[in-house]
Chains A and B, each alone.
Chain A
């Protein structure tokens, strides 16, 4: 399993918690101190997007965040359970609000792709996943 997993109700007030946990685990995993701000921002954007998708879709399931420590890299996966329309489908919902939502959605993704070099966005009928990866430098254990 992931090093740390987090599931939270799709509410804006919990996004900050996800940011703090992600940054703490990233730091421990050896992500460069200078990059932690980016990790915090990127995970916040991904969670904000997931919360928005759950709320607008009336989905009661929690948002899932997996923090994965691997050799020489650290990954964060943020998963939502909103059914994403596949290309060719006309988007669900109606009216101007849907446009507005998708604009904000795009802004979040724009920030993520501007910040993170290694990012993968997948989406299907059962939900979407954003996977972001950063390199780590192995920490030199300082023993007392």
Chain B
């Protein structure tokens, strides 16, 4: 399965809905999307990963890159994920300490800390 991306605005947040597989082949598309959003002035991002079937370290790298970019503008990057197999990858790499991970888009959009 390929990668699907769609974005929508909720208040001052931009929600990026990601679906499919994020790997070495598709991760550049996600990177482009995040870079474009930041370049267009969206600094508070919520990446909804509920539709993601597969995520590898290349995908993690892109998310970390996105976080770096929004932080340069005092922004935020929050993740929405409930899938154990995806969460496991964040845990073993220690990235659960780096990303705020929420159980729903509503929760992520409402979060302020």
Residues of A within 8 A of B (CB): 12-13, 15-16, 19, 37, 40-41, 44-45, 48, 51-52, 104, 107-108, 110-111, 114-115
Residues of B within 8 A of A111 (CB): 56-57, 60, 89, 92-93
Report the count of interface residues on B (CB-CB < 8 A): 14
A53 CB → nearest B CB, Å: 12
Decide: B25 and A12 in contact? CB cutoff 8 A. yes
Decide: B25 and A13 in contact? CB cutoff 8 A. yes
B61 within 8 A of A: yes
A-B CB pair tally, cutoff 8 Å? 51
Which of A41, A48, A52 lies in contact with B89, CB distance below 8 A?
Answer: A41
B26 CB → nearest A CB, Å: 9
Decide: A16 and B85 in contact? CB cutoff 8 A. no
Nearest chain B residue, comparing its CB with the CB of A115: B92
Residues of B within 8 A of A (CB): 21, 23-25, 54, 56-58, 60-61, 85, 89, 92-93
Decide: B56 and A114 in contact? CB cutoff 8 A. no
Which of A13, A16, A40, A45 lies in contact with B57, CB distance below 8 A?
Answer: A45
Decide: A104 and B57 in contact? CB cutoff 8 A. yes
Residues of A within 8 A of B61 (CB): 104, 107
Nearest chain B residue, comparing its CB with the CB of A110: B93
Residues of A within 8 A of B23 (CB): 12, 15-16, 19, 44, 48
Decide: B93 and A40 in contact? CB cutoff 8 A. no
**In the docked arrangement, what's the CA distance between A19 and B56, Å?**
11
Residues of A within 8 A of B21 (CB): 16
